[in-house]
Amino acid sequence: MRETLLNLIKLQEVDIEIKQINGELEAEPEAITALRQELATAYQEQKTAQEELAEKEKNKKDAEWELKECEERIKKSKQRMMEVKTNKEYQALLTEIDELNKKVSEWEEKILIALDQVEAAKKIVAEKDKKVKDLEERLKKAQKRLETVFTKLKKSLVDLRQKRQEIIKKLPDNLLSRYDFIRKRRNGRAVVSVNDAVCEGCHMHIPPQNYNELLKCDKLMTCPSCQRIIYWKGLLEKNTGEPKAAEQ
């Protein structure tokens, strides 16, 4: 029974490693997926920033066109002033030029505002471009790392599964079924040690009589509280001496 217990312990160690590797194999692709989603969001933000910049540049261009139109109209009005024959026509042109000069001032102010808006939009685009570039680089590195990690983990998984097959050959089928049943219901830990009459799976005390029987290591026992398979912790120690029995 001592040998059987040792093989059960080895089996659980292997199963824990297998579970850990499977978890890593699942976690790595999740990290890649998260990066891709983050990058997709960054692309959308980049596109929005570029569209806003294009709109600000169009507003600036439109304002510059309007300013130019006003200046051309002022120029033409001044030329017409040289040709008018009546004071009434002259005054009308002066009023028109005055109104156009006001519009020129307005468009000049709008152009200055548009210039500031364009510069601010350019900064945002630059930030979004940098974010996209950084995420693309992170994704590229993560994918490369994933390939390396996957190769290594899958090899370890093959080795562990082979080791598991070698161990289970030494264990009876009914015990394996019991082990698997408990393992699935106890978060992967079907076999736990008992130290000083305390189960290290559920941290509950083992009754003295049960603990004294456990010290003999001559039969399979389970924790009365968590139902895990239990063994005396000293079983794994090379020079343990005689185990100390529990007081009745």
Q: What is the pLDDT of residues 137-158, one digit of tens each?
A: 999 998 898 888 888 999 999 9
Residue 242 lies in a domain: no
- Is residue 222 predicted with pLDDT exceeding 60? yes
Q: Are residues 59 and 157 in the same domain?
A: yes
Residue 12 lies in a domain: yes
- Is residue 69 predicted with pLDDT exceeding 50? yes
CA distance 169 to 164: 9
What's the pLDDT tens digit per position in 95-109?
A: 999 999 999 999 999
What pLDDT shows up at residue 139? 94
Which amino acid belongs to residue 76?
Answer: K
Residue 241 lies in a domain: no
What pLDDT shows up at residue 236? 77
Q: Are residues 78 and 178 in the same domain?
A: no
Q: Are residues 64 and 161 in the same domain?
A: yes
Strand order in the sheet with 221-222: 198-199, 191-195, 229-232, 221-222
Tell me the pLDDT band of 1, cut-offs 50, 70 and 90: confident
Q: Are residues 98 and 185 in the same domain?
A: no
Q: What percent of the chain has pLDDT over 90?
A: 73
What pLDDT shows up at residue 244? 52
3-class DSSP assignment, residue 180: helix
- Is residue 245 predicted with pLDDT exceeding 80? no
Provide the domain limits for residue 71: 2-168
Kindly state the average pLDDT of the residues 20-47. 90
CA distance 223 to 199: 7
Q: Are residues 14 and 65 in the same domain?
A: yes
Q: Are residues 224 and 198 in the same domain?
A: yes
Q: Are residues 63 and 142 in the same domain?
A: yes
Q: What percent of the chain has pLDDT over 70?
A: 96
Structural domains of the chain, count: 2
Cβ count near 29 (within 10 Å): 11
* Domain end marker among 168, 201, 221: 168
What pLDDT shows up at residue 237? 72
Residue 212 lies in a domain: yes
Kindly state the average pLDDT of the residues 187-211. 92
* Domain end marker among 110, 134, 168: 168
Q: Are residues 52 and 78 in the same domain?
A: yes
Greatest mean pLDDT range, 18-22, 78-82, 91-95, 120-124: 120-124
CA distance 79 to 92: 14
Q: Are residues 144 and 187 in the same domain?
A: no
**Which pTM was predicted?**
0.56
Per the model's pLDDT, the better-predicted residue between 244 and 117 turns out to be 117
Residue 67 lies in a domain: yes
* Domain end marker among 168, 184, 210: 168
Tell me the pLDDT band of 193, cut-offs 50, 70 and 90: very high
Q: Are residues 204 and 146 in the same domain?
A: no
- Is residue 77 predicted with pLDDT exceeding 60? yes
Assigned token pair, 65:
């066109």
Backbone angles phi, psi at 109, to 5 degrees: -65, -40
Tell me the pLDDT band of 239, cut-offs 50, 70 and 90: very low
What's the pLDDT tens digit per position in 165-183?
A: 999 999 999 999 999 999 9
- CB crowding 174-188: b at 16 or more within 10 Å, else e: ebeebbeebbeebee
Nearest Cα to Cα of residue 213 among 228, 190, 227, 230: 230
